[in-house]
Amino acid sequence: MIFSIIVQAPPVQSQGAETALRFTRAVLAAGHQVHRVFFYRDGIHNGTDLASHPQDESSLPAQWQALAQEHNLDLVVCIAAAVRRGIVNEGEAKRYHHEHWNLAPGFELSGLGQLVDTCLQADRVVTFGGRS
């Protein structure tokens, strides 16, 4: 079965992104496919390359990256939501004349159309939210 995961929750402040990660792992472990993980609203903060944690805690962005690498996952961050909140890749940094960029490797920025598209491709769409 093909799944699409939509993440609207940011790491740290709410549990939703953690739940989404565990669910995605369980989907893959059961032998199903994940067509795409789409990060929207505050969920875009899962795509930061600059999260730092004490040694006994794990960084959610790093865990998404590791999972994506292992399973060749498509991690898409909504570009409009991300740019407004200050998550940019090199291309967007140049477009907006920023000297720095912070989108983690393994994530890509794309439009909300990718959310619609992934719903069309999937047998099941599962959304993980924070607190609206």
Partner 1 sequence: MILHTLNQGPGNPALLENCLTAMTATDTLLLIEDGIYWSLPAYADTLARVPGRVQALESDLTARGIKTALTTVDDTGFVELTINHDKVVSWF
Partner 2 sequence: MSTHRFLVMTRSAPYGTSAARDALETALTCSVFEQPVTLLFLDDGVFQLLKGQAPASIEQKNLNAMQQSLPLYDIERLYVSKRALELRGLSAADLILPVELIDDAALPALLAQHDTVLSI
Q: Which residues bind partner 2 (CB under 8 A)?
A: 6, 8, 40-41, 80-81, 111-113, 115-117, 119-120, 125, 127, 129, 132
Distance between CA 96 and CA 39 in Å, rounded? 21
CB-based contacts of 70, cutoff 8 Å, min separation 6: none
Asked if residues 64 and 46 have their Cβ atoms less than 8 Å apart, the reply is yes
Binding map of partner 1 across residues 19-58, x = CB under 8 A, - = no contact = x--xx-xxx-xx-x--------------------------
* Among partner 1, partner 2, none, residue 116 binds (CB under 5-8 Å by kind): partner 2
**∠86-43-36 over CA atoms, to 5°?**
115
What is the dihedral sign for C-alpha 2, 48, 86, 93? negative
Q: Where are the beta strands (DSSP E) in 1-132?
A: 2-7, 33-39, 75-78, 107-110, 124-128
Is 119 a catalytic site residue? no
Binding map of partner 1 across residues 58-97, x = CB under 8 A, - = no contact = ----------------------------------------
Catalytic residue among 20, 75, 78, 88: 78
Residue 112 CB, nearest approach to partner 2 (Å): 4
* Among partner 1, partner 2, none, residue 81 binds (CB under 5-8 Å by kind): partner 2
Asked if residues 45 and 18 have their Cβ atoms less than 8 Å apart, the reply is no
Per CB under 8 A, residues contacting partner 1 are 1, 3, 8-9, 15-16, 19, 22-23, 25-27, 29-30, 32, 124-132
Catalytic residue numbers, as ranges? 78
